[in-house]
Structure 1
């Protein structure tokens, strides 16, 4: 029987495994900003379902708080905090953006949580810290549409902000690597073909993605590029220095079969995600898992993130089906 790390290494090398490696992740609203609580929840999830890697889940606006974002926080444990109002409302607001440290403030909270988790592990399970692209961080401070509008009207102002956020992101990423992260789940929400033109994507998104990823490529071995949204430019990013690709393969496409025709990277996906997954029957959930079982170069996971209120029976069903598919008599083989 392979270790969790061996399964991931085999998947990245497109080799066979004793069973399909997998992971599942979700946000923990109103608990994920407490360093120890987030570590406890992430590790408990890994142990309960025997996950092959931990995709860490600091709350989704953690890169914006130190840049002036105010949050609306909701009661209970299901709805994540949201932006109270845009920090960037008009072009002049970009001039108020100042450099922030990637190892202080909200970033320090996330790093402390990671440190705690690393100390709590009995076995070092591969760990991916969540990292947002610089363009994604800026879009979270206003909106993707506002960001694109401003970059077309005054590119110099937006580039200035992108350069500052890139420096901050690299500081944080290097500090995370020093604490033992095996890689990053690098998420971009600005890589859809309908969001901007190809040349704009290369200038405002890809340029800074590569700066961040190149800064950590020699410090880590398991980096996954997550492209959020529909009609993503997955064919245009094959040169990114990452080992894995993640996108909404089930819900928005393209399919893994199509991407495999031009990509030799490992794929992280195969499950529907979010509210889409909640529309599935148990039979459909099991079918998604079986379809992925035994495929070389595939690490099973959601196309993005699992809703916090997803029935536990779905999560247990994924685990059980994976184990069944690993059996010698399984019809998947």
Structure 2
């Protein structure tokens, strides 16, 4: 196996020209709470499509599982997302009761660490691994079934801020343990840094301070990545976070790729529209691939990936053909 870690480090050190790193990820809802099965499926995916780094394909609700929620994953296989069907958060005062967990009290966090450990064993340290981490505000929004904007508006007593502190601490512990077990970085996913969901002022108070604590906990890693999820994102607010790689839904949300390159000096993970993969839209995919390769000919900036998880169902033949075009 090619040592992908050495390859990607050389690319990021600007020592490798004419190469375009590639990765992709999806969800496996039938097995993603079974560490042995999901780690093997992830490794097989990495080998089949010759990807240059692995983003852990964690269950999208793992950060709320240990807080007494009832979850429904049935929509994922049809292109939908998991849902919180029942939660202990029904009122503003309920945020007082959010416990401060440690990882040894949190079976879902423990499961994800086992998932990571198995991936480290399978890859033998030769494929870079970034572990999926949700921002505390993202976790809080999942916990209250997408109503976090209402609780922010009601937070005159600071109860929500205190709850976010308690959600942050086990996340920091998880990050530290993941890096100790062999992760090369975190993939910090913020689903709330969108003008469609919050005001910039709200995110500055309820998002940024907690995001930065997570990033600080991972500051020894070399492949830390920020994922700004969704449309109409607050790119200007987050683009200077202290990590080397940034990822957003390029083509679905501004800025476009060329504009993003001008606005940040970070490496950009993205460039492929995920729905183009699901729909096998070859004119779009070929155009995006050509654009990324052209940029990397002169300035190693693009780690070519979808902007987010590839939604099911999609054809593996599409991804295989895309792999071949990237490598040609």
Question: Structures share a fold, TM > 0.5?
Answer: yes
Q: Give a deviation string over 1:151-196, Cα, whole Å, max 9, x none.
A: 1212511101100011010010001011000001100011012322
Deviation at 1:106, TM superposition (A): 0.6
Distance (Å, rounded) in 1 between the aligned partners of 2:7 and 2:292? 15
What stretches of structure 1 of length at least 5 have no aligned partner? 325-333
Distance (Å, rounded) in 2 between the aligned partners of 1:3 and 1:19? 14
Which residue in 1 is equivalent to 2:171? 169
Deviation at 1:200, TM superposition (A): 1.6
How much is the aligned-residue C-alpha RMSD, in angstroms? 2.1
Q: State which drifts further: 162-171 or 281-290.
A: 281-290
Count residues with an aligned counterpart.
321
Which residue in 1 is equivalent to 2:251? 250
Which residue in 2 is equivalent to 1:318? 322
Which residue in 2 is equivalent to 1:271? 272
Deviation at 1:11, TM superposition (A): 4.2
Distance (Å, rounded) in 2 between the aligned partners of 1:189 and 1:293? 29
Which residue in 2 is equivalent to 1:4? 4
Alpha carbons of structure 1 residues 314 and 180: separation in structure 2 relative to 1, 3 Å: same
Distance (Å, rounded) in 1 between the aligned partners of 2:276 and 2:68? 33
Which residue in 2 is equivalent to 1:99? 100
Alpha carbons of structure 1 residues 71 and 244: separation in structure 2 relative to 1, 3 Å: same
Distance (Å, rounded) in 2 between the aligned partners of 1:286 and 1:160? 48
Distance (Å, rounded) in 2 between the aligned partners of 1:110 and 1:101? 14
Length-normalised TM-score, structure 1: 0.90
Which residue in 2 is equivalent to 1:47? 47
Which residue in 1 is equivalent to 2:89? 88
Partner of 2:103, secondary structure, is coil
Which residue in 2 is equivalent to 1:69? 69
Residue 311 of structure 2, aligned match among 307, 313, 321: 307
Distance (Å, rounded) in 1 between the aligned partners of 2:140 and 2:210? 12
Deviation at 1:121, TM superposition (A): 1.9
What stretches of structure 2 of length at least 5 have no aligned partner? none
Q: Is the 8 A contact 2:11 2:19 kept in 1?
A: no
Deviation at 1:215, TM superposition (A): 1.4
User: Pairwise mapping of residues 1-333 of structure 1 onto structure 2 (< 5 A)?
Assistant: 3-13=3-13, 16-74=16-74, 81-103=82-104, 104-122=106-124, 124-144=126-146, 146-155=147-156, 156-218=158-220, 220-273=221-274, 275=275, 277-294=277-294, 295=296, 296-324=300-328
Distance (Å, rounded) in 2 between the aligned partners of 1:239 and 1:281? 33
Alpha carbons of structure 1 residues 271 and 80: separation in structure 2 relative to 1, 3 Å: same
